[in-house]
Amino acid sequence: MNLTYQEQTPVEAPGRKLVGRVVLGLLVLAAALLGATAGLLLVYSTDLPQVDDLEHYRPSSITELYDNHGRIIGSFALQRRVVAAYDDYPQVLREALISTEDKDFFRHSGVNVWRIIGAAYRDIESGGRVQGASTLTMQLARNLFLSPDRSFHRKIQETLLAIQIERRFTKAQIFTLYANQIFLGHGVYGFESASEFYFSKPAKKLTLDQAALLAGLPKAPQYYSPLLHPDRALKRRNLVINAMLEDGKITAEQATDAKAKPVQLNVQHDPNSLAPYFVEEIRRYLENKYGSDQVHEGGLRVYTSLDMDLQKAANQAVLNGIAAYERRHGWKNHLQHVLSGDMTLERYDDPDWEDEPEVNSYIHALVTSVAPGSATVRFGRYHATLTKQDAAWTQKKIQDILKRGDVCYVKVLSLNAGATARVSLEQDSGAQGALVAIDNAGGEIKAMVGGRDFNESKFNRATQALRQVGSSFKPYVYTAVIDQGGSPDDTILDAPITFQSGSTPYTPHNYDEKFEGTISLRRALAQSRNIPTLRLADRIGIKTVIDYARRFGVTSNLPAYLPVALGAAEITLLEQTSAYSVFPNDGVRLTPRYITKVTDYEGRVLEEDFPDVKDVISSRTARVMTSMLQEVVQHGTAASAASLKLPLAGKTGTTNDFTDAWFIGFSPNLTCGVWIGYDEKKTLGAKESGAHAALPMWIDFMKFALAGKDPGSFQAPPIVPPSPSALKVDTPDAAPAGDEVR
């Protein structure tokens, strides 16, 4: 029997085979995922910024401008930020922010994995992109180094950077960097700056409800803006308070009290709005010298000559003076109407509304409704009702001059609770005004107004506008005469005359169409007589007069023809005002100064400015001219200024057809110049002379500037007898014509 043996192979169980394959597959998948992750991390980490640089990081800072008392009057910045230290942020703000943005901030190592997974799952489920779930450290990494684009690529880089940041810095350092960097709406960056902007106080003084309001802003600063959307801001603030309560940071009683408070803001006024024309002059100078980046990001400290109190007085004097002029000439119905196309009342926003209004300020307001005898207007968040009394000067019915959708001009008389206000109707027909005030002793510019509204026109009428100066040019003629040995008691003939100006006969006349005969030089200047001035200029030569004007610092073009003696030349207000400061300075001219010192962020002095002094005329001439210009105020064309009962001197100026009105005057300590007119050089109207249109603004300003201060006194002029060859002219000549005015 043949027997065959066959070895039996054991049969593997089907279940075990499947498990092995699954395990193998999982291992392969894990290896692939690990490799892919490593590859992705390698790719995403190759171009990551170096977080070591944060040790020397200083965020872009505001360049601040200070007045002569150290008060902030302006700033330049790409990002409005005040850099603060960890201890500058109160515990209530730190806890509010952590409860809202990152509850585990002090426990995690930069990344909250479970929050990221949960957020990613929700976004994938909804078809959206990865967003949310960022820790404070991740937000810091994004704000410092990455774009705001929401993508997986950015999220991975954000995570890697956050881990690196946590390894190199303490939690306090990370919080401080975050708190200084984050955007909080309206151009404000960082919580210190936000506290000053929204509440006008440092972060250290924040209350619970205020801290919660700020802590709610990082999520969506514009959406939750308490200025634009106070209802949303209130709800968001209360959510933050609830989060703090849940985390045990506050008691139920504290939470209830805080949530019961309304959103109350004390918005910081834009410091640039106080002296915008002055600040703009500073900006141009700084950018030209230090470059735009240094000015807007370098945190310079600029100490200027301006006096905030005098600037406020200057602003008010000019605006009130223009308003008085507008009222004198009646309602002209120059109103913009905005209800056209797709514009609605709710959507309209005026540049004037960017800053909080102040009492006695002038602002454009939107007419929202009109009824018989009244109209409702809105400006920013304020509403007001114009009554018949508020528009009485127009001598018209409100419903006849205003309609819904008009933009009118009003003066703010009071700001009341509930965002209500009381206003009066004013007019903006295009008239402009300017003012410059200069300290005599140092040449520092103490106040500057370059126009009615910087938002509407950046053109500086104090430094850029060349306007005919009228009779305010006459002191140069008399200075030349006195400096060459003349006396204020010398006489000159005020009688008809014809001059030969080039090849053309020139027959001038006086403002009042009258002639006084033989008069002293003192009276001729005080009464602003045209013909005596021309006789003097003709006698000494117009080129000599121009040479004296040049000595005083006038650099504008002065053509060598006789009518220049009456102010037919165009000069800037700053030039003319600075020139007049020579008289109270005993014949010495100091170049006008804007800046006294500039330092960098670390306090190193970059520049210091000292007075540039030049001798112009003798002290004898300066004192005699000062006494003659005092006569203008005491008994001449500027006699209304005598009501101040102070040592004052100056000269009015009016041009042909009343296109420009001037007054340049001074006390022993301060020189101030004022101009009013239209940009297009049209008439201000009959009788709108320097004494009538410009001098009242000067009086208002000087009344404030000299109040409660020692006004000083002018140096007594030497006794100057009439010169041996008196400038008397005995022969009347020709009939009056022409129209030069004073």
Q: pLDDT class for 96, splitting at 50, 70, 90?
A: very high
For the stretch 558-612, pLDDT in tens is 999 999 999 999 999 999 999 999 999 999 999 999 999 999 988 999 999 998 9
Is domain 330-428 annotated with CATH 3.90.550.10? no
For the stretch 183-234, pLDDT in tens is 999 888 999 999 999 999 999 999 999 999 999 999 999 999 998 898 999 9
Closest CA to 469 of 739, 664, 688, 701: 664
Phi/psi-derived region of residue 424, left when phi > 0, alpha when psi is between -120 and 50, beta in every other case: beta
What does the pLDDT average to over 335-347? 86
What does the pLDDT average to over 57-64? 77
Q: Is the model's pLDDT at 10 over the cut of 60? A: no
What is the model's pLDDT at position 417? 86
Radius of gyration of the chain (CA): 37
For the stretch 468-513, pLDDT in tens is 999 999 999 999 999 999 999 999 999 999 998 777 899 999 988 9
What does the pLDDT average to over 642-654? 97
What does the pLDDT average to over 8-20? 60
Q: pLDDT class for 737, splitting at 50, 70, 90?
A: very low
Q: Is the model's pLDDT at 47 over the cut of 80? A: no
User: What's the CA gap between 40 and 560, in Å, rounded?
Assistant: 80
Please give the DSSP secondary-structure letter assigned to residue 692.
I
Please give the DSSP secondary-structure letter assigned to residue 300.
-
Q: Which has the higher per-residue pLDDT, 61 or 128? A: 61
What number of other Cβ atoms are within 10 A of residue 670's Cβ? 25
For the stretch 680-727, pLDDT in tens is 989 999 999 999 999 999 999 999 999 999 989 999 988 767 766 555
Q: From start to end of 380-532, where are the E strands?
A: 382-387, 406-416, 420-426, 431-439, 445-449, 467-468, 491-494, 499-501, 504-506, 517-520
What is the model's pLDDT at position 106? 85
Is domain 51-271 annotated with CATH 1.10.3810.10? yes
Which one is the CATH code of 432-706: 3.40.710.10, 3.60.15.10, 3.60.10.10, 3.40.50.10190?
Answer: 3.40.710.10
Sign of CA dihedral 213, 214, 220, 225: positive
Q: Is the model's pLDDT at 308 over the cut of 80? A: yes
Given a contact cutoff of 8 angstroms between Cβ atoms, the answer to whether 394 and 340 are in contact is no
User: What's the CA gap between 590 and 443, in Å, rounded?
Assistant: 5
Q: Which has the higher per-residue pLDDT, 659 or 109? A: 659
Q: Is the model's pLDDT at 733 over the cut of 70? A: no
User: What's the CA gap between 250 and 244, in Å, rounded?
Assistant: 6
Residue % of the chain over a pLDDT of 90 = 66
Lowest-pLDDT range of 234-243, 350-359, 480-489, 615-624: 350-359
What number of other Cβ atoms are within 10 A of residue 347's Cβ? 8
What is the model's pLDDT at position 115? 60
What is the model's pLDDT at position 155? 65
Lowest-pLDDT range of 150-164, 346-360, 365-379, 541-555: 150-164
What does the pLDDT average to over 319-346? 91
What is the model's pLDDT at position 739? 38
Q: pLDDT class for 43, splitting at 50, 70, 90?
A: very low
Q: How far is CA 602 from CA 61, 305, 519, in A?
A: 12, 22, 64
Q: pLDDT class for 537, splitting at 50, 70, 90?
A: very high
Domain ranges for the chain: 51-271, 330-428, 432-706
The residues that are catalytic are 101, 471
Query: What is the chain's mean pLDDT, rounded?
Result: 87
What is the model's pLDDT at position 560? 93
Structure tokens at 654: 């009016």
As a dihedral over the C-alpha atoms of residue 364, residue 370, residue 376, residue 378, rounded to 10 degrees, the angle is: -40
Buried b (16+ CB within 10 A) or exposed e, 696-705: bbbbbbbebb
